[in-house]
């Protein structure tokens, strides 16, 4: 059995060992560095040139894959504890050095844009190896957290026929011929218009109203033509839903969950985070002072996990913004007044300038939020909450759901939602309705926070954005 490098580097010197990986470098006809993706560290292989065929030596090029057998010995060099002194080497897959020069495997600094264009190879770099190992650990931690807390994992449909949610522009799902707009949708595959889901929430609610605590974690699609560094057309969303719970339980859950995930990363992904932390510091040295982060990635993660999130109402947030310096100096692009949807410049001010920590905003105007959010007694606001993070903006959006049948029916009328389209949703309010709440966490927004990557395209293996669906 092949040993993974992550295990080999922890082993004591031993005589017979095998390893394989992709060559990162070959120096002085003596030192081969291989990486197998199991960890950020590469393994040093030392060869005596005279013991190997010249043809083999010639094929030890960066990018090639090899198998090695030898003994694990203490390393004489300073870079690593041990290395393999090779007795036998086999080339598994060659790599033509000339062609390789055109790729990002060429060992030199490449821009993130260039790395994105070569999404088929970028996972072989230290940077993306680190990002995607962390992504795996974060997925696992999400399931672990909910499992430990008695939540049930529910798979909600990816193809849906409900257009009630209003969370964003949808992608149509059809088998009708391209470009034929006059065909009756009754003849389409499902006998009605269908699209890719923008959220699993409505179905997650059905599950919570039967199983008590449920969550979804799946792909989500929004045809937002916004092209920002925080939006994808296809992203992954985590949506817990809890019965017998109100908005405060929902916020408590959100805060506890985020802190758990950040601590999990700090404990489980030490090596990769150390690499990302140092990389970010070096990158920022190139930036003008005012664009640099005040705190390093690791400091930001620890600050979030060690501090209580600030909780304020939307009304209070508006007051703070109205009295703020940038508002008085007319620096905000979007004017501030009660009733507006907070823009990212406003969120940024509250989180990064005013409170300098994560902020939870509750009780938003009913008019800017979805129909299913629970009406507050003031008649103007709903029990909605957003959790805003430094450098990210909105990371979680959630609410207590309207559990009162008549109030929900009224809301449907106000929002022009035909009740027959969501008859099943309304029925749960007729038979044993209970207060319940939930939220959506954008998995890639979380990934941006725990890796320090500033473009959402760099935390999902194969990003889908306007005009981009390669790989």
- Kindly list the residues in this chain that would bind Mn ion in the complex (CB under 5 A): 397
Give the other-Cβ count within 10 Å of 352's Cβ: 18
- Is residue 372 a contact residue for ligand ATP (CB under 6 A)? no
- For residue 438, give the nearest of 146, 189, 147 by alpha carbon: 146
d(CA 381, CA 305): 30
User: According to CB under 6 A, which residues from 165 to 204 bind ligand ATP?
Assistant: 167-168
d(CA 116, CA 119): 5
- Asked if 189 and 149 count as a contact pair (C-beta separation under 8 A), the reply is no
Question: Closer CB to ligand ATP, residue 19 or residue 238?
Answer: 238
- For residue 39, give the nearest of 70, 9, 74 by alpha carbon: 9
- Is residue 247 a contact residue for ligand ATP (CB under 6 A)? no
- Is residue 231 a contact residue for ligand ATP (CB under 6 A)? yes
d(CA 397, CA 310): 15
User: Shortest approach of ligand ATP to residue 456 CB, angstroms?
Assistant: 6
Helix/strand/coil percent split, the chain, to 5: 35, 25, 40
- Is residue 232 a contact residue for ligand ATP (CB under 6 A)? yes
Question: Closer CB to ligand ATP, residue 26 or residue 235?
Answer: 235
- Asked if 247 and 362 count as a contact pair (C-beta separation under 8 A), the reply is yes
User: Shortest approach of ligand ATP to residue 201 CB, angstroms?
Assistant: 9
N-terminal to C-terminal alpha carbon distance within the chain? 31
Sole binder of ligand ATP in the list 202, 237, 276, 321 (CB under 6 A): 237
Question: Closer CB to Mn ion, residue 72 or residue 258?
Answer: 258
> How many residues bind ligand ATP, per CB under 6 A?
16
Q: What secondary structure does DSSP assign to 329-376, as a single string? A: TT--SSPP-TTPPPPHHHHHIIIIIIISS-EEEEEEEGGGS-TTBPBP
Question: Closer CB to Mn ion, residue 394 or residue 410?
Answer: 394
Which range touches ligand ATP (CB under 6 A), out of 32-40, 73-81, 128-136, 442-450?
442-450
Question: Closer CB to ligand ATP, residue 240 or residue 397?
Answer: 397
Question: Closer CB to Mn ion, residue 21 or residue 397?
Answer: 397
Pick one of ligand ATP, Mn ion, none as the site partner of residue 246 (Cβ within 5 to 8 A by kind). Answer: none
d(CA 380, CA 237): 29
Sole binder of ligand ATP in the list 249, 310, 345, 394 (CB under 6 A): 394
- Is residue 389 a contact residue for ligand ATP (CB under 6 A)? no
Pick one of Mn ion, ligand ATP, none as the site partner of residue 232 (Cβ within 5 to 8 A by kind). Answer: ligand ATP
Structure letter (DSSP) for residue 291: G
Residue numbers at the binding site for ligand ATP (CB under 6 A): 167-168, 222, 224, 231-232, 235, 237, 394-397, 440, 442, 444-445
């Amino acid at each position: 059995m092949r040993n993974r490098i992550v295990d080999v580097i922890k082993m004591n010197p031993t005589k017979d060992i095998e390893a394989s990986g992709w060559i990162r470098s070959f120096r002085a006809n003596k030192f081969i560095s291989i990486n197998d993706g199991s960890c950020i560290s590469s393994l040093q292989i030392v060869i005596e040139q005279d013991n190997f065929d010249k043809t083999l030596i010639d094929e030890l090029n960066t990018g090639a894959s090899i198998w090695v057998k030898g003994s694990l010995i203490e390393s004489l060099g300073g870079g690593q504890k041990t290395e393999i002194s090779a007795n036998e080497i086999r080339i598994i897959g060659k790599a033509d050095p000339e062609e390789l020069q055109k790729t990002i495997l060429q060992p030199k600094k490449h821009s993130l844009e260039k790395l994105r264009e070569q999404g088929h190879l970028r996972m072989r770099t230290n940077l993306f190896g680190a990002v995607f190992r962390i992504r795996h650990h974060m997925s696992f931690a999400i399931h672990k957290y909910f499992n430990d807390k008695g939540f049930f994992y529910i798979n909600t449909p990816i193809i849906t026929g409900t257009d009630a949610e209003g969370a964003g522009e949808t992608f149509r799902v059809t088998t009708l011929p391209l470009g034929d707009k006059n065909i009756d949708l009754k003849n389409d595959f499902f006998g009605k218009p269908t699209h890719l889901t923008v959220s699993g929430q409505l179905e997650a609610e059905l599950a919570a109203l039967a199983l008590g605590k449920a969550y979804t974690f799946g792909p989500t699609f929004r045809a937002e033509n916004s092209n920002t560094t925080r939006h994808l057309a296809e992203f992954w969303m985590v949506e817990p839903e809890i019965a017998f719970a109100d908005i405060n339980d929902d916020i408590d859950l959100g805060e506890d969950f985020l802190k758990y995930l950040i601590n999990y990363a700090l404990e489980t992904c030490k090596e990769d985070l150390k690499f990302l932390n140092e990389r970010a510091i070096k990158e920022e040295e190139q930036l003008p002072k005012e664009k640099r982060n005040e705190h390093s990635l690791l400091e930001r993660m620890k600050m979030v996990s060690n501090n209580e999130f600030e909780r304020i109402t939307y009304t209070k947030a508006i007051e703070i913004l109205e009295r703020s310096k940038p508002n008085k100096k007319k620096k905000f692009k979007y004017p501030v007044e009660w009733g507006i949807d907070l823009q990212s410049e406003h969120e940024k001010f509250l989180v990064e300038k005013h409170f300098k920590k994560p902020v939870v905003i509750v009780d938003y105007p009913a008019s800017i939020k979805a129909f299913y959010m629970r009406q507050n007694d003031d008649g103007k606001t709903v029990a909605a909450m957003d959790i805003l993070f430094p450098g990210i903006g909105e990371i979680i959006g959630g609410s207590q759901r309207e559990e009162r049948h008549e109030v929900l029916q009224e809301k449907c009328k106000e929002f022009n939602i035909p009740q027959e389209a969501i008859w099943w949703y309304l029925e749960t309010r007729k038979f044993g309705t209970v207060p319940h709440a939930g939220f959506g966490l954008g998995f890639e927004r979380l990934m941006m926070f725990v890796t320090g990557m500033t473009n959402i395209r760099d935390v999902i293996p194969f990003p889908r954005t306007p005009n981009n669906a390669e790989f």
